Structure 1
Amino acid sequence: MFLLIILKEPKTPEAGCSCALSRCDCTNRGLTSIPQNLTKNIRRLDLSRNQITMVQAGAFINLPRLQELDLSSNQITMIQPSAFENLPMLQCL
């Protein structure tokens, strides 16, 4: 007998991001800030093609396992000190 498990991509209520396992796709969602309600298990976060203008201090404090972060094609004009604090595994920005 075979057991089939279907993993549905949950959406975070605040950002409308599509997240599955350790990846979260928040591309082209009209975001103006970094979502704060994402799961701690995320290793890859794509925030490209939004309207994010600032990366605040501690913006990713709840994502200690993050390895890849894409902020391309935003309107970032300011990155506060300590914006990328608590990201010991970050390899690609």
Structure 2
Amino acid sequence: MAEQDVEKLRSEMNQLREDLRGLTETVRGIASSQGEQAYERVRERAAGARRRAEDMEQQLEQQIEERPLSSLLVVFVGGLIAGLLLHNRR
């Protein structure tokens, strides 16, 4: 009788191991899928940010080409203000 109980317990333990292996594989699959989806979302957002930055760069270049003296004056005044602010901090 005791041997039958031990064999039944071994059988149940083996079944439990198999179930845990299956569960582990399922969890890995879900985690991998979630990771891939998150990576794809990050990639899409980075591409969108890159496009917006390129658009802004083109707009800035166009404004500089259309008004070179005004652009130069704005940069000069901005540098002057930054220089005065940094100089006063010392």
TM-score normalised by length of structure 2:
0.25
User: Which structure features the higher share of helix residues?
Assistant: 2
Greater relative CO (CA pairs within 8 A, separation 6+): 1
TM-score normalised by length of structure 1:
0.24
User: Which structure features the higher share of strand residues?
Assistant: 1
Greater C-alpha radius of gyration: 2
